[in-house]
Structure 1
């Protein structure tokens, strides 16, 4: 059936550039030379220098392997037969809503109706919101969805958390072949649904992650640096994982799963506990783990979603702390349930190795060198993380947005040192604090209402 679509508002796409690839290689070579220069410059005894050199070389080899892997990420184009199969799939979008800003909610729902491949059904669950009135949005949506030929439901349930809201949506969509999960502030680029389905042409693919960028990237510098950091993580860490079919964490704003992955694991998904406490967060990584146990988990860099990033430090720190606690819990489950024959098992181990080696280098340079050997680290050592950061950060420029000029994105890329300093100081503290407090499994945000709102000015801009 032909369905009328309205024109796109927010859009983005990935652009593969040889210039970006060459720039990454040049900056990494410069970082390698600087590392060698710094090691030689150290004036400690030969035995100590030798041990430290091994640590630095190991860490740099991890970065080189990571760089090699993320350049291998490819999404094959399906043939005509595969496209017919993808077109026949019933795609259901699950939208849990809790204390969301009505402006962001409507922006996201509008984006579902602008897709080049329309979803077959959209299921919205208001999880007992205590702030905001969605009556106007609901009335508009039900009429707009009916005109577009998209089946929809809108449930209002008692507050039970995001997972229970998703479960309510799953139960009213038994016909779905693919579940597309999102957040209530997700705004899909016009081709997001079409693109995120393409990897499912391979029968072994069980889940697909999309790319998430900030809707409110012009709000302030915290949002811009967060957007830079988050996009680079997706196009570096996760692209490398995707190259071997081992994405470890899908993003909440946009991810797709074969329906059986969610239906068959719904009981354990709703009742996960850690140290005797119900786990309320890290839902996306748990669904990804279920998918890893059955097959491949990949990323589709051409499926892009806009989402609202935190605009103040309090909101950001709570979000990041929740991620770190969830990451720690998920690490325990991966070591326990993933087979060592799976690439994800070893990528997970390599991530921990990288984190430990980085911590060792930091402690050595800032504590052992000054206190034990009475030597300050060579100034060239300070250049290394910035060179590596700028190299990996070039991937940020490969995302082209309809609402931002490339020179504006280049200015954000130039702020990479700020992102690196943040990562090496406050975020490092939050990471370790999250590891040691992972038993605190509550959600921790939106209890008093939406923390980011779509202002009338911003709404006109997008």
Structure 2
């Protein structure tokens, strides 16, 4: 089957919409007046909306726009990956005179700092690479903030320390900024270590669905709600305008130590009316471009690709998912406070999706646990079959849209079982403990992650170009 054949494309569209529309019609014309009927109608309608919108998604092509870019890479105990991360950035197809890189070692206890100095010498990049070292681990937000304040570029490109960008990723990532109302851009994520077992491959194709299909839909509304940390970009002035708010965020009276990327996306997507940045020359407060929540745009670039190291073992994967579920709870509560000000299609799709995410867990418990315990095992099988069919359609569309191999289809279907398991366990636990900041990857040494504050970073050690370490004032 040739994905480039117009007949194949039409057949996939017919299979997708030709099966979903009759289901929706049947549900609507057979009203049962229950919350589960209501959920079923909305879920089917949302799936149709997602496919309709993502089908028309096209990334911004390269129009030759080359602003000054500052790449910021926070790192904590990444001795195995950090050299390749930096090497990929410096191999980027981007003008040397317009690219600076700032790497912040956030109190690593391994050889990350040595590797940073080694790669600078090996690549011979001189003052294009600034190395900064935190004396103690203060968290990703504090490390990012140090890089932001040091940066000189018009655009900030943020890359996780275990992610590797394609050669043309940076130049493609910045193209949407030709629109002055675009404040953030999310790149496309993929797994770098798919050769390390079944679990990384399952995650890889799950990424394809979440990025290419879901973020593709969000991008049509110019309201991507989470710019992934593996590759994202923002206007520097916009970030400076919300930086203190980001550093001092709290949830239920506690400092927020997770959801860094989602919360930064929220703050710029909310708009910058009434925001100022301080001039570096004379200290004056200068207003930034006053964008309202309705006008501020965050989009997705599917052609700007970064590969990240994903968990290979189930316990590690579950810890990651718990962080993500908790950050989703925090982020969606905050986004709900302003998304109603977006254009109606963007606002409606956001609130509908949030309802469906949390309702799906309740439905999963009833169909997969309660009903089988009542002797109705068939309901659970039907529920699983329905989820597998939707996953099959997702895999089929990912294969068509993102040029993935055909194995995308069975792996996407296989991820259904992990997704259901997460809904019945990790998501519920995240609901019950949303205030916790544990199981994060960048926790300050010797501190309780639920009590640590990020608003007062510890003294830094900044390395000059000769390789000597000097304390900052």
Contact 1:365 1:376 (8 Å CA) reproduced: no
Counterparts of 1:290 and 1:227, CA distance in 2:
28
Q: How far 1:356 sits from its partner (Å)?
A: 4.4
For residues 231-380 of structure 1, what are the structure 2 equivalents within 5 Å?
A: 231-294=208-271, 295-342=296-343, 344-359=346-361, 361-363=363-365, 365-366=367-368, 376-377=378-379
Secondary structure at the counterpart of residue 391 of structure 2? helix
Indicate whether 1:135 and 2:114 are aligned. Answer: yes
| Residue number in structure 2 paired with 1:4 | none
- Please, which runs of 5 or more residues in structure 1 have no aligned partner? 1-14, 41-45, 401-405, 450-462
Indicate whether 1:213 and 2:190 are aligned. Answer: yes
Q: How far 1:35 sits from its partner (Å)?
A: 8.1
Contact 2:396 2:409 (8 Å CA) reproduced: yes
| Residue number in structure 2 paired with 1:107 | 84
| Residue number in structure 2 paired with 1:172 | 150
Q: How far 1:274 sits from its partner (Å)?
A: 0.9
Secondary structure at the counterpart of residue 377 of structure 1? helix
Counterparts of 1:356 and 1:212, CA distance in 2:
25
Counterparts of 1:78 and 1:96, CA distance in 2:
28
Secondary structure at the counterpart of residue 101 of structure 2? strand
Counterparts in 2 of 1:380 and 1:189: CA distance versus 1, 3 Å: same
Counterparts of 1:446 and 1:285, CA distance in 2:
16
Secondary structure at the counterpart of residue 281 of structure 1? coil
| Residue number in structure 1 paired with 2:18 | 29
Larger deviation, residues 433-442 vs 371-380 = 371-380
Contact 2:229 2:261 (8 Å CA) reproduced: yes
Secondary structure at the counterpart of residue 238 of structure 2? helix
Counterparts of 1:279 and 1:360, CA distance in 2:
27
| Residue number in structure 1 paired with 2:276 | none
Counterparts in 2 of 1:396 and 1:218: CA distance versus 1, 3 Å: farther
Counterparts of 2:4 and 2:333, CA distance in 1:
36
Indicate whether 1:64 and 2:48 are aligned. Answer: yes
Secondary structure at the counterpart of residue 95 of structure 1? strand
Counterparts of 1:250 and 1:34, CA distance in 2:
33
Q: How far 1:385 sits from its partner (Å)?
A: 1.6
Q: How far 1:416 sits from its partner (Å)?
A: 2.6
Counterparts of 1:16 and 1:251, CA distance in 2:
29
Secondary structure at the counterpart of residue 94 of structure 1? strand
Counterparts of 2:112 and 2:178, CA distance in 1:
41
Counterparts in 2 of 1:367 and 1:193: CA distance versus 1, 3 Å: closer
Counterparts of 2:140 and 2:381, CA distance in 1:
48
Larger deviation, residues 382-391 vs 22-31 = 22-31
Counterparts of 1:415 and 1:193, CA distance in 2:
29
Counterparts of 2:256 and 2:159, CA distance in 1:
19
Counterparts of 1:128 and 1:359, CA distance in 2:
38
| Residue number in structure 2 paired with 1:126 | 105
Contact 2:209 2:394 (8 Å CA) reproduced: yes
Counterparts of 1:21 and 1:151, CA distance in 2:
49
Contact 1:390 1:413 (8 Å CA) reproduced: yes
Larger deviation, residues 179-188 vs 412-421 = 412-421
- Return the match for 1:223 from 186, 200, 207: 200
- Return the match for 2:71 from 93, 104, 107: 93
C-alpha distance after superposition, 1:84-129 (max 9, x if no partner): xx32x210000101001x3311111111122122461000110110
Counterparts in 2 of 1:39 and 1:48: CA distance versus 1, 3 Å: same
Q: How far 1:28 sits from its partner (Å)?
A: 4.8
Larger deviation, residues 359-368 vs 125-134 = 359-368
C-alpha distance after superposition, 1:185-222 (max 9, x if no partner): 11100110010011111111110000110110110101
| Residue number in structure 2 paired with 1:7 | none
Q: How far 1:58 sits from its partner (Å)?
A: 2.6
Q: How far 1:368 sits from its partner (Å)?
A: 6.5
Counterparts of 2:155 and 2:392, CA distance in 1:
37
Counterparts in 2 of 1:388 and 1:200: CA distance versus 1, 3 Å: same
- Return the match for 1:394 from 393, 396, 399: 396
> Which structure's relative contact order is higher, taking Cα pairs within 8 Å and 6+ residues apart?
1
Counterparts in 2 of 1:427 and 1:375: CA distance versus 1, 3 Å: closer
Contact 2:361 2:423 (8 Å CA) reproduced: no
Secondary structure at the counterpart of residue 333 of structure 1? helix
C-alpha RMSD of matched pairs (Å):
3.1
Secondary structure at the counterpart of residue 207 of structure 1? strand
Larger deviation, residues 159-168 vs 390-399 = 390-399
Counterparts in 2 of 1:127 and 1:371: CA distance versus 1, 3 Å: closer
Counterparts of 2:99 and 2:112, CA distance in 1:
26
Secondary structure at the counterpart of residue 196 of structure 2? coil
- Please, which runs of 5 or more residues in structure 2 have no aligned partner? 272-295, 446-473
